[in-house]
Structure 1
């Protein structure tokens, strides 16, 4: 998972650092910069994959605009040329992206340098690994497959000097502290191995903003598979789940979770439709048999939004790291709270990491802030217009019995307009 993100000089963000859990909820007034944070992460993901053209950025949920509007241009200072996004993952890998644009028409953003990455380990462990690499090189022995990705990034001279520095550090200090080894990378190609899951997760990062009409369509040309940012491809996705034995349990789980809607009985992909995937059938327990079943066009939009979210969180077919902008859209307030609880459970079970934005106070009541992997952040603007972020913490045994929704709407958490 991605654990820490630092952003500099992007839209309304001057400089920011945030530490993520598994499920992260952003609240704040309109225009505070919630979506800008998501877009900065998506921009870094596109840079990791060397795909910074506007068409690709748009398909990932970024709103490309003129370079002067992509850079921070607050009144207090002139806009600088570089956007910087740094991310640290759970596997102790850190990557740093420096992005620039020459301002010419039809030009794309570029990753200014090949990039930096770092590995953080205990000094003794780092020394043992580097000594093993050096020994393998001196004897021309095959590189251990587990070390190959890291080995490709270190020149022999740098390897020898790093070993000397670590030996001296080990000799002069009593504690076996963490040591950081900074590496230059070639477009992060060497970091795409299984040993760098954080970078792979970043490259797949998508900002989903499902829309009613898109959820009712089969798929659209150019969408990122399996699910587009507006919800395109949902029907085909259901067909895949229904026709693939290994996803039978996931499909059953999705249908069970949908029963939080009192009228819902079951969901089917008719055998006659499995080739065209143009239709699903939804059984409403209140309808008579003669009335038949609903399809995606006659179903209410709240049902389709729930169906999309459960699909997104339930299988390895979808990204491990993603965002959902306005997760409360089209949903009843109490249902929003229950949805967040369900999504937190699914995220843990299926190794997903998500950032959710919301304007509905009731959504917050689905969070368990005593679980450190569920985190709430308030996004606001500072005195100079810069986007700021603050984490809300609640520990076991807190004296306050006020619901988070009440605390939000009463202004205790912040993130509300102050001009009226």
Structure 2
């Protein structure tokens, strides 16, 4: 099931942001335009299926750190809204801070609960069957949870949730609620890659356990195992071709040593192969991306945040070819500073390139008409002043 659209509202620089996706979608923009905010918001949505939603929010600084950071219009909601649309299904979540009236002041658990004051309070979760007449398949408001069963009847959903837990993480009786189960599996299948560590102490440079590993971890700490797995049950020929496209005449080898796997690269003219700890940052970054994109177990949706980091511009062409090849198996979303990478991908495959910019602190798509929150606040103030002056004039005594 491909994602058609993602909506993000009230999240840092994303006041009301709509993103329509294709098979490959590339977000291009300068530092500070909000690319990483989009990446993190989608990653936050994906964490709901793993039971990590509250932890992810805490890692990002708590709800106050995630909220819309710009000027507020009087009609702006203080909640954050995340929504995702597929061909026939739509999932939506709204969360915010725990209401002041519900924050503990005393009692047996009051002091302890105050420690979690910045936890997310999930106000609303819904799943709808879209169409001319949308049908609500699942609805949560606070602790009240209702869902349609196989017979089409709306019943109480058998789950007890904390305020900071998504229902996707506490799925019960999936055979009775297939749409909810399907969404959970989709979200759990998503993969996110950003900022592979390549410093001298990075686990990428060390020997790794010899265990078949079809999916690269988010930090690439199992790179050697994934490369060995691709060579064993995946496309070894395709892997070697992409290595040669980036580094002509160079080959990658994996050697087992006492239960550990060692990654080496053999360069023409050198008397010995180079161990992973000797490779450049850009070379390791390229190998990590190659291992992620050529996985023998493709994900339905993969997101890469600035994959070109630390790589020479000459690697943009083979990286683009890797992205196009992977898009035959997965839907891809890429954020990048590199217009060269975006154009290389566009030249080889059908992709959407979306340019981002900031207007009055708000992340927007370049070319779209935007009315900033600041302008709306100023309009409200101006309207209030006009109304006040009109009232004064009306009450002035006649001569």
Structure-2-length-normalised TM-score: 0.69
TM-fit CA distance, 1:121? 5.6
Task: Quote the Cα distance in structure 2 between the aligned partners of 1:87 and 1:337.
Answer: 31
Task: Quote the Cα distance in structure 2 between the aligned partners of 1:105 and 1:26.
Answer: 38
Partner-residue secondary structure (3-state), 1:327: coil
Q: 2:323 aligns with which of 343, 346, 368?
A: 343
- Indicate if the aligned counterparts of 2:10 and 2:68 stay in contact, CA closer than 8 A: yes
Partner-residue secondary structure (3-state), 2:257: helix
Change in Cα spacing, 1:157 to 1:72, as seen in structure 2 (3 Å) is closer
Task: Quote the Cα distance in structure 2 between the aligned partners of 1:116 and 1:225.
Answer: 33
Task: Quote the Cα distance in structure 2 between the aligned partners of 1:391 and 1:321.
Answer: 27
TM-fit CA distance, 1:76? 3.7
Aligned to 2:14: 13
Aligned residues: 321
Corresponding position: 1:283 with 2:266: yes
Corresponding position: 1:352 with 2:349: no
**Post-superposition CA distance 1:36-58 (Å, at most 9, x none):** 1111111111224432233x568
**Post-superposition CA distance 1:55-108 (Å, at most 9, x none):** x568xxxx6114222110312447744211110124x21111112332843453
Aligned to 1:97: 93
Aligned to 2:129: 119
Task: Quote the Cα distance in structure 2 between the aligned partners of 1:105 and 1:156.
Answer: 37
- Mapping 1:8-407, distance limit 5 Å: 8-54=9-55, 56=56, 64-77=60-73, 80-90=77-87, 92-102=88-98, 104-106=114-116, 107-113=118-124, 115-120=125-130, 151-152=149-150, 154-155=152-153, 186-187=167-168, 189=171, 190=174, 199-209=184-194, 210-213=196-199, 214=202, 215-217=204-206, 226-242=215-231, 244=232, 247=233, 249-272=234-257, 275-277=259-261, 279-287=262-270, 291-317=271-297, 319-348=299-328, 351-368=329-346, 372=350, 374-382=351-359, 384-390=360-366
**Post-superposition CA distance 1:241-298 (Å, at most 9, x none):** 34x4xx1x4233212211013444322211435x222x112221222xxx22111112
Partner-residue secondary structure (3-state), 2:250: strand
- Indicate if the aligned counterparts of 1:87 and 1:96 stay in contact, CA closer than 8 A: yes
Task: Quote the Cα distance in structure 1 between the aligned partners of 2:34 and 2:333.
Answer: 14
Aligned to 2:162: none
Q: Which has the higher strand share?
A: 2
Task: Quote the Cα distance in structure 1 between the aligned partners of 2:152 and 2:217.
Answer: 38
Partner-residue secondary structure (3-state), 1:317: coil
TM-fit CA distance, 1:219? 6.5
Change in Cα spacing, 1:342 to 1:239, as seen in structure 2 (3 Å) is closer
Task: Quote the Cα distance in structure 2 between the aligned partners of 1:193 and 1:255.
Answer: 41
TM-fit CA distance, 1:229? 2.9
- Indicate if the aligned counterparts of 1:71 and 1:80 stay in contact, CA closer than 8 A: no
Listed as ranges, the gaps of 5+ residues in structure 1 are 131-148, 159-184, 393-420
Task: Quote the Cα distance in structure 2 between the aligned partners of 1:226 and 1:202.
Answer: 16
Change in Cα spacing, 1:199 to 1:362, as seen in structure 2 (3 Å) is same
Task: Quote the Cα distance in structure 1 between the aligned partners of 2:236 and 2:348.
Answer: 30
TM-fit CA distance, 1:198? 5.7
Task: Quote the Cα distance in structure 1 between the aligned partners of 2:267 and 2:19.
Answer: 44
The structure with more radius of gyration? 2
**Post-superposition CA distance 1:308-335 (Å, at most 9, x none):** 1121111243643222111111222232
- Indicate if the aligned counterparts of 2:242 and 2:318 stay in contact, CA closer than 8 A: no
Task: Quote the Cα distance in structure 1 between the aligned partners of 2:154 and 2:191.
Answer: 38
Q: CA RMSD in A?
A: 3.6
Partner-residue secondary structure (3-state), 2:235: helix
Task: Quote the Cα distance in structure 2 between the aligned partners of 1:280 and 1:370.
Answer: 31
**Post-superposition CA distance 1:107-165 (Å, at most 9, x none):** 5324323x211223688xx99xx9xxxxxxxxxxxxxxxxxx9744841699xxxxxxx
- Indicate if the aligned counterparts of 2:8 and 2:82 stay in contact, CA closer than 8 A: yes
- Indicate if the aligned counterparts of 1:101 and 1:108 stay in contact, CA closer than 8 A: yes
- Indicate if the aligned counterparts of 1:94 and 1:118 stay in contact, CA closer than 8 A: yes
Aligned to 1:182: none
